[in-house]
Each structure stands twice: as structure tokens, then as C-alpha cells.
Amino acid sequence: MAKKISKRKEALLKKVDTTKVYSVEEAMATLKDLKSAKFDETVEIALNLNVDPRHADQMIRGSVVLPNGTGKNVRVAVFAKDAKVDEAKAAGADLVGSDELIEQIQAGNIDFDIVISTPDMMGVLGRVARILGPKGLMPNPKTGTVTMDVAKAVENAKGGQVNFRVDKKGNIHAGIGKISFDIEKIEENFKTFVETINKAKPASAKGRYIKNAAISLTMSPSLTLDGSELMDMK
């Protein structure tokens, strides 16, 4: 027996042409009409790239600071010692420490969204790598979260940094803002994110780089985008 869809979802589906490939301009013009939840929905982008992450040179991973932020209140934990502790606190880090933070994590208290570490603290963090790794929280130099410049890293995290990593099927998903943002700001964030992905294209990747693309809200159907238009964003 077919599952009955809700009236809310049925109304949203009427606003989306599932057979259409939307230009970025058309998609942006449609997004506000797709708002249906009582909370401030996230604008989400999904890309399918023509890469094989099994090859190290085709693992797309990095970060980008969105010009208009993500709209999310990001809690940042920093592993540091000595003068770097004061730097992290002054920059606005929510949690700063070493062994005491390790103990909190081991006890299951993970009250943060991003972890930043100075290089000399990565050995300490190794004790909780099996906990942080699967949650995507383990610091990595490629995302700028292993650094001596903890102040800048905290500012980036608080100011709209988005970390991305291609999965084994070549997919990347990211939140690029909130539907309460002006459309111009959403579009600017969107273009900044896509430009960053394009710049990360490996030299060994052949053929069409962005195979498929879509944009949606947390609770909405997705709009299929023209991947060739996105590839021109550089």
C-alpha cells in the first residue's frame, strides 16, 4: 500500500517541477516559496562530483568561509596550552583546554560543533580520535582546524566556515545559510561554495566534474540544478 504523503509535502511538490533543470537564478527565485517549517530552515546544497575518492589525489576535502555566514550559532572547542589558551578564549572559543576536555569527550559530553587544535596537541587528541572521527569532528590541516593561529581559526569557525568532504560515491552536502537570509546573500554564499569546489578539482579528474547538483531547504523537495552552469563559477 502506497504511503500517503502529508498535505504540507503535497503542497510543496506542486511548487517544484521535478522534471525541470533549474538555472541558479530560477532556483533562487523559487527557494522562498518552499519554506514550510516553523523553524528557520537551512539552505542545503548537494553536489555529485566525477571523482574517485579511493585515489588520494581525488579526495576532495577542505573548508570555505561563507561571506554571509551560515546563520548557525557554532560552538567551538580548542585544544591548546600556554599562551594559545588565552588567544583562543579572546577570539571567542566556547571551550578551551587539554586533558579536562578529553575527559569530557570520553564521558560522552560533546557540547561543540567544531574542534580546533594546535599541532602540538594532536597527540593528546589521538586518545579520542575514535569518538571524534566518526562524527566528523577530528581536526585536520586541510580544513584549517590544525593550526598555531587559533584566533583566526576560531574567528573563521564562528564567522561562517563550512567544512566539506566528498563521500565514497563522490557526493558533497553542505548547509550554506538560512532561508531567513535575503536571497542575494544566499546566492552569494552559494556561488562562493561552488567556486571553492571548482578550485579543488583534481588534475586527474576527467570529463564533466560536477555531474549532478541540487538545492533544497531542510524540509523541502530539491531543485535540480544545471551542473554545467555551476562549473562556470570560478
Instruction: Tell me the residue ranges of DSSP E strands in the chain.
Output: 42-49, 61-65, 76-79, 95-97, 114-117, 161-165, 171-178, 210-217, 223-224
Q: How far apart are CA 206 and CA 186, in angstroms?
A: 30
Q: 121-132: per-residue pLDDT in tens?
A: 999 999 999 999
- CA separation for the pair 107, 94 (Å, rounded): 18
How much is the average pLDDT of 200-205? 91
What's the whole-model pTM score? 0.84
CATH architecture of 76-158: 3-Layer(aba) Sandwich (3.40)
The β-bridge relationship of strands 76-79 and 114-117 is parallel
Give the count of alpha carbons within 13 A of 104, CB side only: 13
225/229 Cα distance (integer angstroms): 8
Is the pLDDT at 2 greater than 60, yes or no? no
Architecture of domain 7-69+161-231: 2-Layer Sandwich (3.30)
pLDDT tens track for 142-185 = 889 999 999 999 999 999 899 899 999 999 999 999 999 999 99
Please report the pLDDT score of residue 1 as a whole number: 43
Q: Encode pLDDT of 10-20 as tens digits.
A: 878 788 888 99
Most confident of 53-57, 58-62, 147-151, 203-207: 147-151
Say if CB 45 and CB 70 are below 8 A apart. Answer: no
Which residue reads 572559543 in cell numbers? Answer: 93
- How far is 164 from 184, CA to CA, in rounded Å? 23
Of 15 and 74, which is predicted with more confidence? 74
Q: Is it the case that residue 31 has pLDDT exceeding 70?
A: yes
The answer to whether the beta carbons of residues 114 and 74 sit under 8 Å apart is: yes
Across 81-97, b (16+ Cβ under 10 Å) vs e yields eeebbebbbebebbbbb
Task: Pick left, alpha or beta for residue 14 (phi over 0 → left; psi -120 to 50 → alpha; otherwise beta).
Answer: alpha
Within the chain, which residue ranges are assigned CATH 3.30.190.20? 7-69+161-231
Question: Three cell numbers at 83?
Answer: 599562551
What's the grid cell of residue 121? 596537541
Q: CATH 3.40.50.790 in the chain: give the residue spans.
A: 76-158
